[in-house]
Structure 1
Amino acid sequence: SRYGMSWSRVLQTRCLLLLVHLLCFEGVPISVDKTKVNQLEDKTSEPPQSVDTGLHYDRYLREVIDFLEKDQHFREKLHNTDMEDIKMGKLAKELDFVSHHVRTQLDELKRQEVSRLRTLIKAKQDIEGGNDIAVDHQALLKQFEYLNHMNPHTFEVEDLDRLIKSATSDLENYDKERHEEFKKYEMTKEHERREHLKTLDDEGRKKEEEHYEEMKKKHADHPKVNHPGSQNQFKEVWEEADGLDPEDFDPKTFFNLHDSNGDGFFDEQELEALFTKELEKIYDPTNEEDDMVEMEEERLRMREHVMNEVDTNKDRLVSLEEFLVATKKKEFLEPDSWETLEQNQAYTDEEMLEFEEHLAQQEEDLNQRASDLQKQRDELERQQEQLNAQKVELQQVLWEVVGKHHIFTVIGLHLIQNTGHIRSQNVTVNQIGRSSNQDV
């Protein structure tokens, strides 16, 4: 059944918001088999494969999901639980009713994960300071908030609750972090441009400014961009990517064509693939004026906008039902114009000023550190010169002492030889004594 085919996907997305496709830095091409149009009713697909969430505990999440998926009671409860209840921890309490066999497997899985983390902590301790330096293990454990370290042996309700909340929080903050990274990228690019201008003379600066304005103008000169998620945008994909007559556009058929894994949902990656044609109007990797980092930010903005409009239950997926409801709205048929990135600067003048002040402070701190290091180097060189001078002086004293000792030794040997007291170098003290007694 359709339910059976897509269950793994529903469990993964509604329960933990884990196995969704996160943003990719490379372009997402649209690849459609046009023969699907006449074969939609006969289309069969394998259960969707899990994809890496990008979270550092992804493997652990997947294994927990695999085990929970085997329990019929838990699956039924999940099917009747909405996303807000899941986030609030109500679903986690159902772990008490999971079969003993599944609980035993989860216990063993947790013990393995705790052991793995302890190994990582030990490795980090060795790297950062060696065994002689005290390490705050509790602080390190906070990096792994999805586990209850007070009970490292069994998988309890609290473990599932922590897992859900950690994954939910991490995934929901992902887009926000991407926007912040992009803003920093844009401000850094502008800062470097300004610094480069400072190195030029008046004529060179004028030429550079003219070139900059020309590139901005060329980038902004592109075909009209359709509002993401609008009928016009989807019809353009239908015609140009799918090779179909725009007059025959049908939302349900369109959805099934681009639901590439056949699970009955548009995930984030499948949704972003629909924007490729629009992005190609603005960005060309062979053009100097087009920045591919900006293209991916534009893709993210488009996907966020459509998700906010269509994903009514906020599970980070667009179901067929949600999609069809959205196509009946006025915004779908008569959307507002879409403002692209060049019409929406990523940062304000105040943010740019603060960013440059921060860079200036960093530069000042680095210069101060460099100055301190130079002073330390000069002091070490001075001390080395003193040591070298002391070494030379000590060598001179030693040579004088050795020289005097050599002179005294030569004189002494000369006197002994003249008196004839040494008849042979091999004469022992006893022999000398016996010789003395005979003389007496």
Structure 2
Amino acid sequence: MEHPSGVAWPRFEPRLTMMKTTQTWLLLLVFVVVLDTIICPPVKVKKSENKTDDEEKTDEDVNFGLEYERYLKEVVGVLESDEIFKKKLQESNVSEIKSGEIARHLEFVSHNIRTRLDEIKRKEIDRLRQVLKIQQQIKRGMPHVAINPTLLTHRTGENDPDFQMVNKNRVLAHVDHKNPNTFEVEDLAKLIKRASQDLEDIDKQRRDEFKRYELEKEAEKQDKLSHMDEEHRKEEVIKLEGDEEEACRSS
């Protein structure tokens, strides 16, 4: 049965791995919090020499399709290189991180780190200006607008494949656009809070999809069993139960 996914989310084994939650993604981005899974943990797959580079991607290579995902990863990557801030992250709890309270520690990072963050923010501001310009062109009904797909990669239900207009405040919600030149505490707080909310929304979508998948899978199994005689049905049930137990033991 084909997995009912309309977007390029990371592949998963439906019965073995529940989709990673918001907290898990933040963990991958250095916001160290608790992994939250259900059913049973991911199966550990031995690395194959025949696998392609794409098949061997790590969790850090996972792309959730956030519009500002590159910006998020770049900011976190820079902050991770600052030992003081990294230590503060490790000492913080989930609520401090998700609320953006952790951002106040930005004041203690080195000048070099702040300079790199300033550069990253200026690039993001330039990208957002292009996005808003494109949106204005679309709003005015200008035909044949050349759209760079890397500029608009929204995945929320508010947006369609044709890049319909998005609320300006939402597009700018992850940055302090009133200060386009320097990366400040307010920028980090906005980025964390926006990412936390968006990733929670994505997690909910994926959990809902997983539930639908499980229901369809169960219906398919029952339909298959209904067309078997009693002897073969019992054998199939035992086999399926054994497969599930083995999957969990292999994790």
For normalisation by structure 2, the TM-score amounts to 0.56
Match of 2:183 in 1: 155
| 8 Å contact kept, 1:146–1:162 | yes
Q: Secondary structure at the match of 2:101?
A: coil
Match of 1:173 in 2: 201
Matched, 1:119 2:130: yes
Between the aligned partners of 2:70 and 2:205, the Cα distance in structure 1 is 22
Match of 2:118 in 1: 107
1:140/1:88 CA distance change after superposition, 3 Å: closer
| 8 Å contact kept, 1:148–1:158 | yes
| 8 Å contact kept, 1:16–1:163 | no
Matches within 5 A, 1:154-233: 154-180=182-208, 216-218=222-224, 222-223=236-237, 233=245
1:383-435 C-alpha deviation (Å, 9 max, x unpaired): xxxxxxxxxxxxxxxxxxxxxxxxxxxxxxxxxxxxxxxxxxxxxxxxxxxxx
Matched, 1:14 2:31: yes
Between the aligned partners of 2:220 and 2:171, the Cα distance in structure 1 is 48
Q: Secondary structure at the match of 1:152?
A: coil
Between the aligned partners of 1:169 and 1:149, the Cα distance in structure 2 is 19
Matches within 5 A, 1:32-431: 32=46, 49-130=60-141, 139-180=167-208, 216-218=222-224, 222-223=236-237, 233=245, 236-237=246-247, 274=251
1:97/1:13 CA distance change after superposition, 3 Å: closer
Please state which structure has a larger fraction of its residues in helix. 1
Shift of 1:178: 3.4
1:325-357 C-alpha deviation (Å, 9 max, x unpaired): xxxxxxxxxxxxxxxxxxxxxxxxxxxxxxxxx
Percent identity, please. Answer: 38
Q: After the TM superposition, which segments of 4 or more aligned residues of structure 1 sit over 4 Å from their partners?
A: 179-186, 213-216, 219-222, 224-228
| 8 Å contact kept, 2:28–2:59 | no
**AA partner of residue 87 (structure 1):** K
The alignment covers a number of residue pairs equal to 178
Match of 2:145 in 1: none
1:37-65 C-alpha deviation (Å, 9 max, x unpaired): xxxxxxxxxx9744323322111111001
Between the aligned partners of 2:31 and 2:181, the Cα distance in structure 1 is 27
Between the aligned partners of 1:115 and 1:16, the Cα distance in structure 2 is 32
| 8 Å contact kept, 2:118–2:182 | yes
1:69-109 C-alpha deviation (Å, 9 max, x unpaired): 12111011112112222122221100011111111111111
Between the aligned partners of 2:93 and 2:220, the Cα distance in structure 1 is 52
Between the aligned partners of 2:133 and 2:83, the Cα distance in structure 1 is 39
Q: Secondary structure at the match of 2:84?
A: helix
Extract unaligned runs of 5+ from structure 1: 1-8, 21-27, 35-46, 132-136, 190-212, 243-273, 275-440
| 8 Å contact kept, 1:11–1:78 | no
Extract unaligned runs of 5+ from structure 2: 1-25, 36-41, 49-57, 143-164, 227-232
Match of 1:425 in 2: none
| 8 Å contact kept, 1:92–1:157 | yes
1:95-137 C-alpha deviation (Å, 9 max, x unpaired): 0111111111111111110110110111121123157xxxxx9
The answer to which structure, 1 or 2, has the higher relative contact order (CA under 8 A, 6+ apart) is 2
Shift of 1:237: 3.6
Q: Which has the larger radius of gyration?
A: 1
Tell me how large the CA RMSD over aligned residues is.
Answer: 4.2
| 8 Å contact kept, 2:132–2:168 | yes
Q: Secondary structure at the match of 1:14?
A: coil
| 8 Å contact kept, 2:128–2:171 | no
Between the aligned partners of 1:65 and 1:214, the Cα distance in structure 2 is 43
1:172/1:226 CA distance change after superposition, 3 Å: farther
Match of 1:31 in 2: 45
Between the aligned partners of 1:145 and 1:227, the Cα distance in structure 2 is 49
| 8 Å contact kept, 2:43–2:247 | no
1:340-389 C-alpha deviation (Å, 9 max, x unpaired): xxxxxxxxxxxxxxxxxxxxxxxxxxxxxxxxxxxxxxxxxxxxxxxxxx
1:180/1:158 CA distance change after superposition, 3 Å: same
For normalisation by structure 1, the TM-score amounts to 0.34
